[in-house]
Structure 1
Amino acid sequence: MQQYDTNPELERRLFNKLLDVLIKAGLILALVITCYGIFSPFLTLMLWALILAVTLYPAHQKLAARLGQRQGRAATLLVLCGIVLIVLPTIWLTSSLADTITGFIHAMKENSLQIPLPAESVANWPVIGKKVYGIWHQAATDLPAFIQSMQPKIGNIAKTALSMVASMGTGMLQFIVSFAVAGIIMTYGLPGQQSARAISARIMGEDRGDEFATLCTATIRAVAQGVIGVAFIQAIMLGLVMAIAGIPAAGLLALFALILGIAQIPAAVIFIPCLIYIWSSGDYATAPAIAYSVLLVISGLADNVLKPLLLGRGVDAPMPIILLGALGGMVSSGILGMFVGATLLAIGYQIFMAWVAGHHLTPLAGKPAQLDDRTETTDSGNAS
C-alpha cells in the first residue's frame, strides 16, 4: 500500500487555524445569544414599530414637505394623530372586552348567569344536534351542576381568560410606545433606508440587495395597509358603533370582526346579528334603532371603500398565510403579535416563493424601485 508522508508542522498550523475559527465562532454565537436575550422582551414591540414606520413613511414624507422638511415635527404630528384616531378607541374597546370577560367569570362564580333554554329545533341539527341540545339544556336548567361536571376544563379556561385580561394593559402600553418608536424611526428615515439597503446587500449580495429590500418594503405596506389596516379600522368602527348602541360584548365582537376581516370574511357575520338584536330586543325607540342600523351597515361595508383607498390591488400572498400568521402571533405575543405575525409570515412566503421559482426577488422586471415616498406607486405595484 502506498504511504503518504505527513508534515507535523502543517498539521499543527491547520489545527491552530481550525481552533481559532471555532473559538471565534463560539464567541460570536455567545454574543448573539446574549444580545437576543437582552433584546427579546422588546422584539415584538420593535418589529411592530418598524412595520408602522415603513407603512406610514410615505405619508410622513408628504406631511414633512408641507412643513418645510421638518422631519421631527411631521413625525410627532403623525404619531399624535395615530394615538387619537387609533389607540384611544382601541383602549376603549379593549376595556369593554376586559369588562365582558371578567363579568362573565364573576357571573359564573356567583351562579347569576342566565342562559336561555334551547329551541327544540336544535336537537334536529345533523350529527351534533342532540349533544349540543343536551349540554345547552343542562347549562340552562342547572348551571352549577353543569360547571361542576365541566371541571377542570372551565377552570383552565377561566384562568386563561383572566391572564388575557391582565395582559391587555401591557399590550395597550406597548401599542402606544410602538407608535412613539415608529415616529423616531421615521424622523431618521433616510439613514434607516441606507442601513436597510446595506444590510440587504450584505445578505443577498450587491446585485440583489435592492430587490430584496424592495420586496420586503412592498409586502409590509401591502399587508399592513391592504389587509391588517382595513380589518383594524373596520373593527374599530364596528366596535365603537356597537358600544355606543349598547350592544352586549362590543369589545369581544370587535375582536371577532378583526379576525374575520384579516381572513377576508365579510363583516356581515357580525353586524347582521347586531341588527337583529336592535330590532328584536324592544329596548330601542324607532329613531335610535334606525340610526344605529345605518351606522352598523356603513361600518360593516366600509372595507369596500377602505381597500381601494389604502391599497388598490392587495398583496400577492394567500389569505390563509396571513390569517395563520395573525392567529399564531396573537397566541404567542398578544395583540401586537397578531399584526407582526401576519406581516412576517407574508414576507417569508414571498421570499420563499421567489426562491422556489428561481426568479428575481421583485415581482416586477426592470430596475429595482427606490424605497422612498416618490415611488410609493411602484411599491404598491410590486406588492400586487
Structure 2
Amino acid sequence: MKFKTFVTSPSLENKAFLALMIAASLAFVWILLPFSGAVFWGAVIAIVFMPIYVWLLRKWKQRRTLAALATLFLVVLMVVLPMTLLTGMLVKEGAALYQRVQSGQTNFVRYFEQVVAVLPSGLHDLLKHFGLTDVSELQARITEAIGRGSQMIATYVYSMGQNALDLIVGFFVMLYLAFFLLRDGAALTRRIRAAVPLAPAHRQHLAVKFITVIRATVKGNILVAATQGTLGGLAFWFFGIQGALLWAVLMGFLSLLPAIGAGLIWLPVALYFLVTGAIWQGVTLIIYGVFVIGLVDNVLRPILVGKDIQMPDYLVLISTLGGMAVFGISGFVIGPVIAAMFMAVWDLFATAREEALATPEPREGDTPAGPATPEA
C-alpha cells in the first residue's frame, strides 16, 4: 500500500479515533479514582431513588430541579442521618465493650472454659490435640487479637481524623452527583445507550438488568440486614447480653451473606446457653433465630433480591463474598451486579448461537424461491 493511500484511508482515521476515545476514557477514569467510592454511591443513590424522583416530577408538573432537591432531602433524612446516629452509638458501644474486656468484666476465656468443661471427652480430646484447651495460650491469643483490633480501630479513627476533609469532600461529591444524575439521568442514559455498539435489543436487556440488580441488591440486602439486625439485637437485649447494639450491627452486617449471615452471631450464644445450663434461654434463642431471624432471610431475600436478579442463592453468596473481598463494603452491590451481567451476557450469546444453529445456511447453488410461473 502506498504511503499516501495509507495516511488518507478511512480505516486509519477510524483506528485513530478509536484509540483516542479509549485513551480519553481511561484518563477520565484515572482522574475519578480518588473519588471512586463517592461516584459509585452517588450513582447507586440515583438509581435506587429514581422512582421517587419520577413520582415527584409528575406531582410537581415536570419541575426537575425541585423534584431532584426534594429526593435528595429524603435521602439525607432516610439514609444519611440514621447512619450517622448509628455510627456514633456503635463507636460508643464498641469502646464500652473494649473497656469491659480490658478490665476483665467480660472474659471470653472464662466463657470458653465453661463450654469446654461440659463437652464430651472425645470432643475435648480433639480440641486438646489442636491446642485449644490451653487456657494460658488462649488468653495470650485473645489478648493479642484484642490488641491488634484496638490498634486497627485506633489507626482507622486517626486516619479518619486526618482525612476528615477528604471524607467531607467525598460526601458532598456523592450528593452533588446524585442530584444531577436524578435530574438529568434520563437524557444521560439515552446518550450512553446510543453510544454503546450493541444491538438495540441487547442494549435494552443489559440496561434493564443492570438497573434491576442494583435496586434489588441495595434495597433488598439493606432491608434484610436492618430487619435481622434489629430482631437479633432485641433478642440479645431481652436475654441481658451486654453490647446488644454492637452484636445487632454485626448480625446486620453478616446478614449480607445469604443463608449463613446472622447465625454466625446468635448460634454460638445459644449453644453457650445450652452447655452452661441455661436451657430455656438456649432453646428459646435457637427457636427464635431459626423461625424469626432466619425466616426474614428465607422469605424477604428471595422476594426482594433473588426474584428480581434471578440468581441462585449460592451465586449471590459467592459474588457477595468475592465483591467485598475485592471492593470492600461496596462489594455487596458490585459483586452481584458483575455476576448478573456475566449471566446476562452469556445468556444473550447462547440464545443468539442457538438461533443461528437452528437456521439452516443456504447451500451453494441454491436460489431463493420465487413466485411460481405458469408453463407455456
TM-score by length of 2: 0.64
Distance 1:236 1:300, change over 3 A: same
* Deviation, structure 1 residue 55: 1.9
Structure 2 counterpart of 1:195: 188
Task: Give the counterpart letter for 1:330 in structure 2.
Answer: M
CA distance in 1, matches of 2:169, 2:250: 18
* Deviation, structure 1 residue 21: 6.9
* Deviation, structure 1 residue 50: 1.5
Per-residue displacement from partner, 1:92-146 (whole Å, max 9, x unpaired)?
A: 4642575378659x839x9x966112325276239953345x3342347x734x5
Give the alignment's Cα RMSD to 1 decimal.
Answer: 5.1
Does the Cα contact within 8 Å between 2:263 and 2:289 map onto a contact in 1? no
CA distance in 1, matches of 2:97, 2:12: 59
Distance 1:338 1:173, change over 3 A: farther
* Deviation, structure 1 residue 192: 1.3
Unaligned runs of 5+ residues in structure 1 are 1-6, 361-384
CA distance in 1, matches of 2:169, 2:270: 34
Count of residue correspondences: 333
- Pick one of 127, 140, 155 that aligns with 1:129: 127
Structure 1 counterpart of 2:348: 355
- Pick one of 68, 72, 75 that aligns with 1:76: 72
User: Which segment drifts farther, 118-127 or 191-200?
Assistant: 118-127
Structure 2 counterpart of 1:370: none
Does the Cα contact within 8 Å between 1:241 and 1:296 map onto a contact in 2? no
Per-residue displacement from partner, 1:312-353 (whole Å, max 9, x unpaired)?
A: 934212333333333334334433x23332343233233233
Residue 258 in structure 1 maps to residue 253 in structure 2: yes
Per-residue displacement from partner, 1:202-253 (whole Å, max 9, x unpaired)?
A: 2223343223222222222222233x23333225524764786663454355
Instruction: Provide the identity percentage.
Output: 20
Structure 1 counterpart of 2:53: 60
Distance 1:259 1:266, change over 3 A: closer
- Pick one of 35, 41, 45 that aligns with 1:48: 41
Per-residue displacement from partner, 1:26-82 (whole Å, max 9, x unpaired)?
A: 655543333222101222322222223212222333345455654134313421332
Unaligned runs of 5+ residues in structure 2 are 354-376
Secondary structure of the 1:50 match is helix
User: Which segment drifts farther, 65-74 or 207-216?
Assistant: 65-74
User: Which segment drifts farther, 170-179 or 41-50?
Assistant: 170-179
Larger Rg: 2
- Pick one of 135, 138, 143 that aligns with 1:138: 135
- Pick one of 14, 36, 43 that aligns with 2:6: 14
Structure 2 counterpart of 1:95: 91
Per-residue displacement from partner, 1:127-169 (whole Å, max 9, x unpaired)?
A: 953345x3342347x734x579x8xx99877765655566778
Does the Cα contact within 8 Å between 2:47 and 2:214 map onto a contact in 1? yes
Distance 1:354 1:178, change over 3 A: farther
Distance 1:248 1:214, change over 3 A: same
Structure 2 counterpart of 1:33: 26
